[in-house]
Structure 1
Amino acid sequence: MSLYEKIVNKTEKISIIGLGYVGMPIAVAFAGKAEVIGFDVNKEKIDLYKAGIDPTKEVGNEIIKNTTVDFTSDEKKLTEAKFHIVSVPTPVNSDHTPDLTPIESASHILGRNLTKGSIVIFESTVYPGVTEDICVPILEKESGLKCGVDFKVGYSPERINPGDKVHRLETIVKVVSGMDDDTLNIAAQVYELVVDAGVHKAETIQVAEAAKVIENAQRDINIAFMNELSIIFNKMNIDTNAVLKAAGTKWNFLKFSPGLVGGHCIGVDPYYLTYKAEQLGYHSQIILSGRKINDGMGKYIAENTVKKMIKANKQIQGAKVAIFGFTFKENTPDVRNTRIIDITEELEEYGVEVKIIDPVADKEDLLRVYGITLSEVEEVNDVDAVIMAVPHEAFKMIKLEDIKKMFKITKKSNALIEGSSSLFSESYLEDLKNARVLIDVKGLFNKSEAEESFLYWRL
């Protein structure tokens, strides 16, 4: 009886190592078909899962409450499983070199608890060669077992898109690979239990590793092109969104839009590929150029905010700016590698007081990683500028009239607004409109309507 058959018959278990935004949905999905051990070194996170709370908001509390996943922070429980999926973060260091600490640590933990006959599948994004050259030696050293004899390895890149309710584990074709045909076939069978879209069998582990890392590099480059266009069209006083809408009528125009590129994938993965290329003596040109543009967009947005405030005759030193949204993308609590921090820090360099409003963001992570305490919408008043940075669904309920009330209003302007009909009043109301600076990063509002009441700017 194969390992796949034993998993289906529930005589062998699957383990998921790393229960974050990717690992946890995988564990829950497999739990509907097999016996699953969900392991994470973070005991507090495990306690939340056991209490039926989903801090990632990827599947929801109700599903977590009813899942059969055996959540644990006890690494010895891993000895009960034979099919292991490693899904831990692979970030970069401050110098943009790969930080393999999490995947190496996971390999040490798993290696200490690896048993004969096991298959280990790595899902973390890496450059080609990491699975076989770095992870396998750790597994062998810690377990005392021989890869290819006592256990097998494979690689299947994660493609879950945090916050996306359409493109899920079940609906995305799964790339799988194995060190030999037997491992490849078993891995494919196991993943087919939960992936309705089917699997693609990659020729080698390195092919699968490379496929993953270029997926996000390609997207990063396309967004960088949009960001560069936005910078150019801004200088021409042309609305970028209008240009993209017109160009998008052609059948083969790729529909990307300008914006901040953060998170644990698109803003990180390209550096893994360029790092490996550097080791082989090749200096990336296109990939790193795209990264340079995208990494500079936070500063660019902050600079344009300051320019608009100066145009509105604002005193920059001591000015108050409210930023709506801090997560790396909409509708997810994930604040890892968010580029909103670039806007915040750049504005603070100018002496601006920044308030962050984000009902979706993980408050504990915000405080722990960035030292930022969130403000409530009700606390936003007497500001000099508002930046709508992340288009959360919750923010789509905010109207332009609501934003107008957040700005500084003097006694004089109050009297004018209350009904004076003089020509001077009309002139002053125009000045008042121009004093309200609204930066709409992703174009959440209608441009024409916003320009009636604000000094308005968007990418």
Structure 2
Amino acid sequence: MSKLGEILRERGPIHKVGVAGMGYVGIPSAVLFAEKFDFVLGFQRNSKSSGYKIEMLNSGLSPLKGEEPGLEELIAKVRAQGRFECTSDFSRIREMDAITVAIQTPFKDTVSLEPDFSALEEGLRQIGRYLNEGMLVVLESTITPGTTGGMAADILHEESGLVAGEDFALAHAPERVMVGRLIRNIQEHDRIVGGIDKESTERAIELYKPVLTKGRIIAMDSTAAEVTKTAENTFRDLQIAAINELALYCEAMRINVYDVRAGIDSLKGEGITRAVLHPGAGVGGHCLTKDTYHLERGVRLANSKLDYPPDAESLYVMARNINDFMPIHMYNLTSEGLSRLGKRIEYSRIAILGWAFINNSDDTRNTPAEQYYNMLIRDGATVSVHDPYVSESGGIKISRNMEDCLRGASAVAIFTGHSQYSNLKADMIKKLTGLHHPVIVDGRNVIDPDSFINEGFVYRGIGRGDKNYHYII
């Protein structure tokens, strides 16, 4: 038996689990662990921006807004049972048998492809200071391939003097969650678990297996796990880019992308696999907007020759560029709609419906609406924003009163598919704008074009080439 194997055998089963980072990943993970293990500590910095989470969680409340089925009930349950606590005292890491790290890893920019690992490094150093022999450390954050066995192992060694794979177990088990279904995703999605060695992988499996209901464990080494996470998000981004590009083509050819999509999706049978997604106003969130660059950086840092067509742009980076263009396309559609009425962006009042990047959530990370907003402000528009779940974002005031947002607007742009927006009434919106011919730009295909066109609106929709050139009634 290896040294680490002997240490883990003497330490015994996992009883106490720590989760560093109380966000969209850390909170549901922590309370699910609390159902299966003796005690769980959630570690959260007591900062001005996020320290409030500590008190809320310890009061049995969820700091996450939006619709998250089962989360608040589970937080209240494990708090009442005394199985979960949130703390800013990182010295209590020494009490844990295992600790997971769910800290965001954004990129500084998309030119240098250098990630901002400062928050992750700080978290790892905190863990390293209190790391004990035989503990398990698992990175759940999305990271550049090679980070677990490289930077993470080095930092933990620097702070503790302990060696990963000899004195403690180290693994990567990437999160695979979507806001709006956090609890279900953790329980039902297969879990990728990759240790830096066999013992680390087995210890990480011991941690994650109890929380799975339908999902299964897929074991591999840590670098393969890192590539799996970055690649699966890169593939999804590629699929979104494919349908977004098709939507642009359909607009130019004056046809309906949703008819084409239904036709493509109708072919099913043996050997036929495809995922035809939906076009939209842009891609937001923490993962898809950056994981392509983690994958690209991992290849670059591998220091191995990449056999690839000379001077060809990466297909994945090209897909990123297409998805980043969609808020610009929304701006262009808005400008075209106003132009049909002899108006322009400058001096117009424009209402944005939806600031969160995903339906029925308060998650505003990398929202595509922000790029659109900034372009409008730059070009002299007056802009109001409505979102039923968000009240402020980066200093931008966001109203939860839709009537106030829409009143006097020359154009309305739908950026998020919140369920509230699928019930928008053309006559009500027209009355609020006070115009005979307002403009409406549907970035999520949530309204019926004809009902708005018949009410006198100038309609523009992504992929709706069949409607974008209508007569003004």
* TM, length-normalised to structure 2: 0.86
**1:25 aligned to 18, 25, 28, which one?**
28
**1:102 aligned to 119, 123, 126, which one?**
119
Residues 185 and 307 of structure 1: CA distance in aligned 2, closer, same or farther (over 3 Å): same
Q: Helix, strand or coil: the match of 1:168?
A: helix
CA distance in 2, matches of 1:155, 1:2: 21
Quick check: 1:92–1:99 contact (8 Å CA) kept in 2? yes
Corresponding residue for residue 13 of structure 2: 6
Corresponding residue for residue 44 of structure 1: 52
Residues 310 and 155 of structure 1: CA distance in aligned 2, closer, same or farther (over 3 Å): same
CA distance in 2, matches of 1:324, 1:348: 16
* 1:359 aligns to 2:388 (yes or no): yes
Corresponding residue for residue 74 of structure 1: 89
CA distance in 2, matches of 1:397, 1:242: 22
Corresponding residue for residue 373 of structure 1: 397
**Letter paired with 1:447:** P
* TM, length-normalised to structure 1: 0.88
* 1:134 aligns to 2:157 (yes or no): no
Corresponding residue for residue 263 of structure 1: 285
CA distance in 2, matches of 1:404, 1:53: 40
CA distance in 2, matches of 1:238, 1:311: 20
Corresponding residue for residue 449 of structure 2: 447
Deviations along 1:122-144, one digit per CA (max 9) or x if unpaired, are 11111210011101110011112
Q: Write the mapping of 1:169-188 to structure 2, written as runs, cut at 5 A.
A: 169-188=186-205
**Letter paired with 1:441:** G
Corresponding residue for residue 3 of structure 2: none
* 1:383 aligns to 2:409 (yes or no): yes
Q: Write the mapping of 1:216-365 to structure 2, written as runs, cut at 5 A.
A: 216-251=233-268, 252=272, 253-259=274-280, 260-279=282-301, 280=303, 285-361=314-390, 363-364=391-392
Q: Helix, strand or coil: the match of 2:213?
A: coil
Deviations along 1:316-368, one digit per CA (max 9) or x if unpaired, are 3211111110111111111111111011111222211110100112x35x1xx
In the TM superposition, residue 404 of structure 1 has moved relative to its aligned partner by 1.9
Q: Write the mapping of 1:429-440 to structure 2, written as runs, cut at 5 A.
A: 432=436, 435-440=437-442
CA distance in 2, matches of 1:304, 1:4: 62
User: Structure 2: which 5+ runs fail to align?
Assistant: 1-7, 307-311, 463-473
Residues 4 and 151 of structure 1: CA distance in aligned 2, closer, same or farther (over 3 Å): closer
CA distance in 1, matches of 2:289, 2:298: 17
Q: Helix, strand or coil: the match of 2:388?
A: coil
In the TM superposition, residue 3 of structure 1 has moved relative to its aligned partner by 8.1
CA distance in 1, matches of 2:9, 2:243: 50
Aligned residue pair count: 426
* 1:404 aligns to 2:430 (yes or no): yes
Q: Helix, strand or coil: the match of 1:6?
A: coil
Corresponding residue for residue 417 of structure 1: none
CA distance in 1, matches of 2:344, 2:224: 55
Quick check: 1:388–1:439 contact (8 Å CA) kept in 2? yes
In the TM superposition, residue 455 of structure 1 has moved relative to its aligned partner by 1.2
Quick check: 2:71–2:183 contact (8 Å CA) kept in 1? no
Deviations along 1:374-429, one digit per CA (max 9) or x if unpaired, are 122121211101111101123334323322222124xxxxxxxxxxxxxxxxxxxx
Residues 148 and 60 of structure 1: CA distance in aligned 2, closer, same or farther (over 3 Å): closer
**2:140 aligned to 110, 123, 127, which one?**
123
CA distance in 1, matches of 2:215, 2:326: 37
Q: Please, what is the CA RMSD of the aligned residues?
A: 2.0
Deviations along 1:173-226, one digit per CA (max 9) or x if unpaired, are 101121222222221122111011243333311011110100000000111111
Q: Write the mapping of 1:138-153 to structure 2, written as runs, cut at 5 A.
A: 138-153=155-170
In the TM superposition, residue 284 of structure 1 has moved relative to its aligned partner by 5.3
**Letter paired with 1:205:** S
Quick check: 1:107–1:135 contact (8 Å CA) kept in 2? yes
Quick check: 2:348–2:409 contact (8 Å CA) kept in 1? yes
User: Structure 1: which 5+ runs fail to align?
Assistant: 410-431
- Higher relative contact order at CA 8 Å, sep ≥6: structure 1 or structure 2? 2
Q: Helix, strand or coil: the match of 1:243?
A: helix
Quick check: 2:28–2:183 contact (8 Å CA) kept in 1? no
